[in-house]
Homo-oligomer: A and B are copies of this chain.
Amino acid sequence: VRYPPEETAEKHERILEVATRMFRDRGFSGVNISELMKAAGLTHGSFYNHFESKQTLASECVLHAASQSLTKMDRYPTTETGHRNYIRAYLSVAHRDDPGNGCLMAALASEVSREQPAKKSMTRHVELFVDKLSSHFPWPGKRAKRAKRAEAIRMTASLVGAVILSRAVEDEAFSREILNEVLSELLGRAGGEEQRAA
């Protein structure tokens, strides 16, 4: 059956959207084409009318998730409060429990480091993420560009590490403790002047 072109484009988009979510949720090797296509409302056979291979789709999904992530940051105002709210959302239980709609790095960085094709896109994303983090928000007491970049890199490592660990840990209290300790550290660094508990 032939379909009107806008419907085809729509399906293409839907596959990409669904796959981006599923890959972040279960990893590349945890998703198979059949269930992916079923989730997009199609059968597995037509997959290859839209994408060259699973590998290709994976790479495109990395790009898709990357642009989603950066767009998400834009929704926070470029103020101290915006910065703090962004950090709160990133280190929230909601984000921990919904990797499918969450940070690309936290979900797939490990797997990508073993995958040649998507690695270049991931590299670019980490660069853009750091750039945006350092330019989008005001960094208290940091005038030099280099210092802001350094802080943004450190913050990125803390954010990603905290979420990955909180997801790997079964004990709910401990998992929250990880998120909260890193949260209060980063809120201290993002907000006003240095606030430091003895």
Contact = CB atoms under 8 A, between A and B. Distances in A.
Contacts of A42: none
Q: How many copies does the complex hold?
A: 2
Contacts of A29: 29
Contacts of A174: 123, 126-127
A170 B109 contact: no
Given A110-B109, A110-B110, A111-B110, A164 B164 contact: yes
A101 interface: no
Given A26-B114, A198-B141, A153 B178 contact: yes
A112 interface: yes
Contacts of A108: 110
Interface in A118-149: 119-120, 122-123, 126-127, 141, 147
A33 interface: no
Interface residues of A, number: 49
Select the residue from A30, A107, A165, A181 with max chain B CB neighbours within 10 A.
A165
Interface stretch (A1-9, A52-60, A154-162): A154-162
28 contacts: A26-B114, A27-B110, A27-B114, A109-B110, A109-B167, A110-B111, A110-B164, A110-B168, A113-B164, A113-B168, A120-B170, A122-B169, A123-B170, A123-B171, A126-B165, A150-B181, A153-B182, A156-B161, A157-B157, A157-B161, A157-B165, A157-B181, A158-B158, A160-B164, A160-B165, A161-B164, A164-B164, A194-B196
